[in-house]
């Protein structure tokens, strides 16, 4: 596989997400053959430092000040940022050492492909911000959290690790985030980057939905994307499914999220984030995840959450629920284990396929098909028993 990948790179061929994931896994296994405990510790500590410097540079807009096609001296960079030369140099050196930036001579620095990703308001940059701002604090708070609550798995809406880390353990994560529209906007932008890592379109064939729509014209909702954020998944499904009438599709999320999905702040200006005609053509519905499903009788309910009990009363006899989830193998893939750790900070968790069968059964549903993708990602098709 390494030989094939090298040939592809020389030809300028881009790897598919599956090929990329497989190549990364092979390279990691090769490194593990020679890495010892001390190497792992040093890599982990270097990672701490690297993400902190990148987050500082995003906040200070340092990456934007470095010419995309050119070089700049540390002295000039410090001047345009308004910082000490010694501080900027030291922080840049960490990123040079880890391959994020490139140094030219003893006093000048330039971009690499890695650092260019942080020069604009883009999904990858938002993903790093979300990781640092939303997940790093609760992870660092875990020793104190378990001292306070005991060695028990955190579940439920209250007393989450995240709320505890922010000093308000008695409120839910949803209520906590509702106070911070800019943080929600960043998380929505980050989701589109995660969609590329864990694609939920392309795993399931929606062509039969378009065929059913042609056979049965009317106003019955075809696809309801529950918790769909800014519509990135619904947009991808539409683009992958010729003949799917977007006007009969629904995008649902919290009212605040739907508003942010329509417009998001960018340096004080308001700009549309759902300008694509596909998503604007869908029906946008604000909802409360802890109340009944507001759209009844849809052909498909697509969700990245596993609250299957919420769909039973809304489903018609031929309705299906598609759950896009990471289904953990035993032992899980690294990415699945990481996501399980992050979800644990907000009271959630990843599950094995046996766990999902149990959840479906308790909701009066059965899993009728499973479509598998890379990195333990699947779409489970559920129907009423």
What does 285-349 look like in DSSP terms, one character per residue?
EE--TTS--SS-S-SEEEESS--GGGTTTT--TT-EEEEEEEB--SSPPHHHHHHHHHHHTTT--
**């959630």: which residue's tokens?**
348
pLDDT at 368 over 90: yes
Q: pLDDT-based confidence at 36, cuts 50/70/90?
A: confident
- pLDDT value of position 264: 42
Helix (H, G, I), strand (E, B) or coil at 100: coil
Quick one: average pLDDT of 55-80? 97
pTM of the shown model:
0.72
Check 35, 180, 302, 357 and give the catalytic one: 302
pLDDT at 119 over 70: yes
Task: Note the residue count of the chain.
Answer: 385
- pLDDT value of position 253: 85
State the CATH class of domain 199-384: alpha beta
Least confident of 47-51, 103-107, 314-318, 346-350: 346-350
263-266/269-272 β-pairing:
antiparallel
- Mean predicted lDDT score pLDDT of the chain: 86
Which token pair is 18?
Answer: 């599956």
- pLDDT value of position 280: 64
CA count, 13 A, side-chain hemisphere, 7: 4
Residues with Cβ < 8 Å from 159, sequence gap 6 or more?
Answer: 149, 169, 170
Which token pair is 28?
Answer: 């990691």
Helices marked H in 12-84:
17-34, 37-60, 62-65, 74-81
Asked if residues 300 and 223 have their Cβ atoms less than 8 Å apart, the reply is yes
- pLDDT value of position 291: 83
pLDDT at 261 over 50: yes
Q: pLDDT-based confidence at 6, cuts 50/70/90?
A: low
Helix (H, G, I), strand (E, B) or coil at 144: helix
Quick one: average pLDDT of 284-302? 90
Closest CA to 54 of 1, 18, 92: 92
* 302 given a catalytic annotation: yes
CATH of 35-116, one of 1.10.8.50, 1.10.10.10, 3.40.50.2000, 3.40.50.360: 1.10.10.10
Asked if residues 129 and 55 have their Cβ atoms less than 8 Å apart, the reply is yes
pLDDT at 103 over 50: yes
Q: Say how far residue 320 (Cα) sits from the centre of its chain.
A: 24
Highest mean pLDDT among 10-19, 20-29, 217-226: 217-226
- pLDDT value of position 12: 52
In the chain, where does the domain assigned CATH 3.40.50.150 lie? 199-384
Least confident of 194-198, 262-266, 284-288, 340-344: 262-266
- pLDDT value of position 260: 66
Closest CA to 198 of 336, 381, 330, 303: 336
Q: pLDDT-based confidence at 200, cuts 50/70/90?
A: low
- pLDDT value of position 269: 37
Phi, psi of 324 (to 5 degrees): -90, 115
Quick one: average pLDDT of 76-80? 98
Asked if residues 365 and 384 have their Cβ atoms less than 8 Å apart, the reply is yes
- pLDDT value of position 9: 47
**């999905």: which residue's tokens?**
261
> Residue 165 region, left (φ>0) first, then alpha (ψ -120 to 50), else beta?
alpha
Quick one: average pLDDT of 40-54? 96
- pLDDT value of position 151: 97
In the chain, where does the domain assigned CATH 1.10.10.10 lie? 35-116
- pLDDT value of position 24: 73
289 or 241, higher pLDDT: 241
Quick one: average pLDDT of 42-61? 97
CA count, 13 A, side-chain hemisphere, 154: 29
Give the integer Cα–Cα distance in Å for 104 and 329. Answer: 45
Q: Furthest-apart CA pair in the chain: how many Å?
A: 70
């Amino acid at each position: 596989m390494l030989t094939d990948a090298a040939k592809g790179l020389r030809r300028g061929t881009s790897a598919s997400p599956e090929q990329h994931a497989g190549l990364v896994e092979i390279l990691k296994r090769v490194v593990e053959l020679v890495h010892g405990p001390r190497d792992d510790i040093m890599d982990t500590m270097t990672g701490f430092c690297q993400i902190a410097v990148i987050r500082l540079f995003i906040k200070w807009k340092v990456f934007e000040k470095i010419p995309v096609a050119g070089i700049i001296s540390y002295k000039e960079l410090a001047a345009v940022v308004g910082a000490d030369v010694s501080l900027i140099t030291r922080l840049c050196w960490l990123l040079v050492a880890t391959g994020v930036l490139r140094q030219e001579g003893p006093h000048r620095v330039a971009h690499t492909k890695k650092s260019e990703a942080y020069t604009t308001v883009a999904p990858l940059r938002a993903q790093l911000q979300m990781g640092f701002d939303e997940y790093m604090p609760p992870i660092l708070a875990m020793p104190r959290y378990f001292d306070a609550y005991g060695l028990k798995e955190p579940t439920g809406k209250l007393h989450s690790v995240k709320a505890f880390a922010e000093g308000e353990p008695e409120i839910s994560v949803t209520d906590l985030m509702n106070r911070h529209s800019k943080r929600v906007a960043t998380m929505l932008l980050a989701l589109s980057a995660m969609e590329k890592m864990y694609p939920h379109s392309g795993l399931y064939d929606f062509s039969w939905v378009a065929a059913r729509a042609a056979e049965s014209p009317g106003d019955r909702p075809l696809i309801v994307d529950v918790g769909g954020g800014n519509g990135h998944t619904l947009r991808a499904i539409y683009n992958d499914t010729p003949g799917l009438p977007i006007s009969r599709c629904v995008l649902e999320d919290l009212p605040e999220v739907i508003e942010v999905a329509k417009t998001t702040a960018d340096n004080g200006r308001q700009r549309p984030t759902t300008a694509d005609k596909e998503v604007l053509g869908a029906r946008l519905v604000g909802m409360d995840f802890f109340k009944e499903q507001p759209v009844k009788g849809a052909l498909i309910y697509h969700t990245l959450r596993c609250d299957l009990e919420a769909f039973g009363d809304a489903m018609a006899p031929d309705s299906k629920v598609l759950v896009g989830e990471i289904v953990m193998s035993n032992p899980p893939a690294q990415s699945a284990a990481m996501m399980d750790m992050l979800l644990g900070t907000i009271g959630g968790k990843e599950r094995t396929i046996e766990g999902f069968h149990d959840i479906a059964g308790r909701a009066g549903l059965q899993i009728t098909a499973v479509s598998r993708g890379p990195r333990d990602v699947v779409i489970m098709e559920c129907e009423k028993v």
